[in-house]
Amino acid sequence: MEMVQGSSFRARPAIPGVVLGIALVMVLLAGGTAAASELVDSIFTAPERLVPWSPPGQSSLVDTLPLWEFTLAVGFNQATITLAGGLDNAVAYAREQIDTINSRFNTPGVFEGEIRFVIDTAYAFDSTGNPYGCLCGRDFTLHYFDIWTFTDELRGSWGVYSPITHLVSLVWSEVDDGAAFGPWPTDILVHEFGHSRGAFDIYLQWVPADSNAVNGEEYPLDSTIMGSTQAATIWDGHSISVINLMADSVITSAVYLRRFFPTTIGLRVAGSEAEPLVGAEVRLYPVEVRRFRVETTPMLTEYTDAGGEVVFADNPFDTTCDMCPFGIRNANFLVEVSYGGQTVYDWLPLTEVQSAYFANPDTVYRKLIVVESATPVADEGEPGLPVGFALRQNHPNPFNPSTHVEYVLPTRSHVTVTVFDMLGRRVRTLVDAVMGSGTHTATWDGSDERGKAVASGVYLYRMEAGEHTESRRMVLVR
């Protein structure tokens, strides 16, 4: 369950500025069409098909995509009907909201099917009950969508999705800002509908700096649809993979994310020239789901083997917790590696590990941790006369949308500067040329070789010049 604050936007003219309770109920069926009620048949027809955005000069791919259609039955209580100025208006408001949700799914053009939610049936019902939905008498094999608007006595707003009851619920407390049909509630609903298609709460991996007593580093909050709720328009790579796998199916388990893990999970510790470091001490500090803090006691302490690796005997994310959200105990880890008097830190988020599974379900995942050695450079009083090769930390870091990488050459050399993902796959070559001695700067705009924006996450960048190889990491935050 996610707590957010009230927003400010204008109510539509048909909604008077009064304080009334609102409840909407929608039944979501995957594939096929529910029997439409006479009520809705007399009010409106199915919404027009939404066409995803296409880059300039390219045609839309919508006609080549399979249709993943989900039929909605919408329930209104009398307060909602009165607030909207009649049943026809209430249905029109809901239809407009669903059109917006469809657009948020399809406009980016990132899914392998066209996702279409269609309002087909409407009815009135008694709104008495709790804000998590009037579940009495419902068929729990279906999906439901409830919206509740309360007076200012209930401060704050949130949305929740339950895969067991197939319930999407929104609690909203600002009637005079357009009630539950306004822009911000719609943003929240896009997030919750993402859950109905299998997406994970990316924000559960977030750690504020003041909640990390180990090294004070923040794990940044993702500004994507599943990492936030307000005005987000970007789908992260993990959510895209899950939603594509789910296609037009209905999720029937609360722990469906448990199956998306590599065969084994571990770490590989290497030096600045990619040599394996044997006997490095590795500590794993967990970030439990919904805790948003790094635990100060490590969950495990191990030492790298002859190959510089630590392989975890059990899945450290712990998929045995039936009462945990998504059936997973830990959402993230702070990794501490000590070797040769140096200590470095990195993060091991759930989405990074599962993304390796999506790329290859049979993968053996090893996160690379680099312990770098210092490289001397010229004194400030002798600009242009460096005494050694050096790759400097990118700036800004974290970054969005672009960052700068400085590197130093003591002599004229052929140099490459390359960006890799955490699986070691090449993302973008920034430099591949013969350069003169001195300090140079390369810029990365967060795109791959094809010019396509890459997902948020941790990336490695490596300089190779002559016999020298050096690597660092950087964080892209969309």
Q: What is the pLDDT of residues 113-131, one digit of tens each?
A: 999 988 877 777 665 544 3
Query: pLDDT tens digits, residue range 244-297?
Result: 999 888 777 778 899 999 999 999 999 888 888 888 899 999 999 999 999 999
User: Tell me, what DSSP letter sits at residue 452?
Assistant: P
CA atoms within 13 A on the CB side of 89: 15
Q: Quick check: 28 pLDDT over 60?
A: no
Q: Give me the pLDDT at residue 24, please.
A: 38
Please compute the mean of the pLDDT values over residues 328-355 and round it to a whole number: 93
Report residue 415's pLDDT band, with 50, 70 and 90 as the boundaries: very high
Please compute the mean of the pLDDT values over residues 91-118 and round it to a whole number: 90
Q: What is the overall mean pLDDT for the chain?
A: 75
Please compute the mean of the pLDDT values over residues 104-116 and round it to a whole number: 91
Report residue 87's pLDDT band, with 50, 70 and 90 as the boundaries: confident
Taking a C-beta distance cutoff of 8 angstroms, is the pair 282, 267 a contact? yes
Query: What is the rounded distance in angstroms from the CA atom of residue 376 to the CA atom of residue 406?
Result: 15
- Give the residue ranges of DSSP H helices in 75-205: 78-84, 87-106, 183-196
Please compute the mean of the pLDDT values over residues 394-403 and round it to a whole number: 87
Q: Give me the pLDDT at residue 103, please.
A: 94
Report residue 336's pLDDT band, with 50, 70 and 90 as the boundaries: very high
Report residue 83's pLDDT band, with 50, 70 and 90 as the boundaries: confident
Does 416 or 325 have the greater pLDDT score? 416
Q: Give me the pLDDT at residue 428, please.
A: 94
CATH number of this structure's domain 375-478: 2.60.40.1930
Q: Give me the pLDDT at residue 262, please.
A: 93
Q: Quick check: 97 pLDDT over 80?
A: yes
Q: Give me the pLDDT at residue 162, please.
A: 58
The angle at the Cα of 353, spanning 347 to 356, to the nearest 5 degrees, equals: 135
Query: What is the rounded distance in angstroms from the CA atom of residue 282 to the CA atom of residue 185?
Result: 44
Q: Quick check: 1 pLDDT over 50?
A: no
Q: Quick check: 56 pLDDT over 70?
A: no
Does 463 or 33 have the greater pLDDT score? 463
Q: Give me the pLDDT at residue 160, please.
A: 57
Closest among 315, 306, 308, 312 to 268, alpha carbons compared: 308
Does 194 or 64 have the greater pLDDT score? 194
Query: Residue holding tokens 């010229």?
Result: 378
Query: pLDDT tens digits, residue range 464-473?
Result: 998 888 888 8
Report residue 66's pLDDT band, with 50, 70 and 90 as the boundaries: very high
| Measured CA distances, 226 to 72, 319, 351, 359, 402 (Å) | 22, 21, 12, 20, 23
Sequence ranges of the domains in the chain? 2-197, 375-478
Beta bridge partners of 390: 408
Q: Quick check: 53 pLDDT over 70?
A: no
Taking a C-beta distance cutoff of 8 angstroms, is the pair 436, 385 a contact? no
Q: Cα 204 to the chain's mean position, in Å?
A: 9
Report residue 353's pLDDT band, with 50, 70 and 90 as the boundaries: very high
Query: What pTM was estimated for this model as a whole?
Result: 0.65
Query: What is the rounded distance in angstroms from the CA atom of residue 145 to the CA atom of residue 437?
Result: 64
Contacts of 384 (CB under 8 A, 6+ apart): 378, 437, 438, 439
What share of the chain has pLDDT > 90, as a percent?
33
Report residue 109's pLDDT band, with 50, 70 and 90 as the boundaries: confident
CA atoms within 13 A on the CB side of 432: 5
Q: Quick check: 398 pLDDT over 90?
A: no
Please compute the mean of the pLDDT values over residues 353-382 and round it to a whole number: 72
Best mean pLDDT range from 153-157, 223-227, 228-232: 223-227
Please compute the mean of the pLDDT values over residues 18-45 and round it to a whole number: 33
User: Tell me, what DSSP letter sits at residue 454?
Assistant: P
* Tokens (6 digits) for 147: 């919206």
Concatenate the DSSP letters of all residues of 193-222 into one string. HHHHTT---GGGG-B-GGG-TTT---BPPP
CA atoms within 13 A on the CB side of 397: 18
Q: Give me the pLDDT at residue 46, please.
A: 30
| Measured CA distances, 231 to 86, 160, 203, 235 (Å) | 29, 18, 15, 12
Does 96 or 22 have the greater pLDDT score? 96
Q: Give me the pLDDT at residue 147, please.
A: 53
Query: pLDDT tens digits, residue range 306-332?
Result: 889 999 999 999 999 988 888 999 999
Please compute the mean of the pLDDT values over residues 220-224 and round it to a whole number: 87
Strands 309-311 and 2-4: unpaired
Please compute the mean of the pLDDT values over residues 416-423 and round it to a whole number: 89
Please compute the mean of the pLDDT values over residues 454-471 and round it to a whole number: 88
Does 29 or 303 have the greater pLDDT score? 303
